[in-house]
Amino acid sequence: METTIIIPCKDGLPYTKACLKSIRNNTSTPHKIIVIDDGSKPETKKFLKQIRGITLISNKKNVGFPAACNQGMLRCKSDFFVIMNNDVEVTKDWLKLLLYNMHKDEKLGIVGPMTNYVSGPQIDPNAHYNSTEELERYAESIKNRKPPRLEFFPRIVFFCVLIRTAVYKKIGGLDLNFGLGNFEDDDYCLRAHLTGWSCAIDHSVFVHRYGSKTFKKIGKGFGK
């Protein structure tokens, strides 16, 4: 069965283009993409309406990250779904590797990858690259890296996260009391844990996030 990929976005069109392109180029696992346009400017709205093969939800105003994600979850009919920031670029087999963990452990409810820019243990201090090609080579190099690929941890940051739909059916969506966003992912992981689900970080999966100092040094052309 396909996995649903939920991508909320508000403007940041170059990032969204790069994100969707990376998914297209690096995801062999069956998937469906839902993009929530959260009150973007006309340029972004026009671009998203022209993309074939995605489900587009358009909000007239910015409802915030938690509410936008919940809109995508309501449309989800698959056993697993991904929540992804639009400033993420995925690498080869990212989804296949994350799903492997879910199929191996039925009590695993939430799993996330490593990246170059995040708070907490999901940041990879050894990630250094200056082009898309170097990024791909680095991601490939860590697939069989030690220590063990899966680390159970109570907090997974939702910049890119795979969630078992059974968790959503048990605890519902993200808490709208967090407004436009911040700490809704901490809260969700805690709620999942309290109902018997575990959370983990897969150290063999690496994705890139824009907004890092690394990308500012790379310049024009990276991720195009």
Q: Which of 110-114, 150-154, 163-167, 217-221 has the lowest mean pLDDT?
A: 217-221
Token pair recorded at residue 55: 């489900």
The pairing of beta strand 198-209 with beta strand 88-89: antiparallel
pTM: 0.92
Provide the 10 A C-beta neighbour count for residue 204: 21
pLDDT tens, 3-26? 999 999 999 999 999 999 999 999
Contacts (Cβ under 8 Å, ≥6 apart) of 50: none
Work out whether the CA dihedral 126, 148, 206, 196 comes out positive or negative: negative
CA gyration radius for the chain? Answer: 16
Contacts (Cβ under 8 Å, ≥6 apart) of 93: 26, 28, 143
- pLDDT at residue 219 above 90? no
SS3 at position 136: helix
Q: What is the pLDDT of residue 147?
A: 72
Dihedral pair phi/psi, residue 117, rounded to 5°: -150, 100
Cα–Cα dist 25/34, whole Å: 17
DSSP H helices, 75-206, are 94-104, 132-141, 165-171, 184-194
- pLDDT at residue 159 above 80? yes
Does residue 210 contact residue 222 with C-beta atoms inside 8 Å?
A: no
pLDDT tens, 116-128? 999 999 999 999 9
Cα–Cα dist 113/120, whole Å: 12
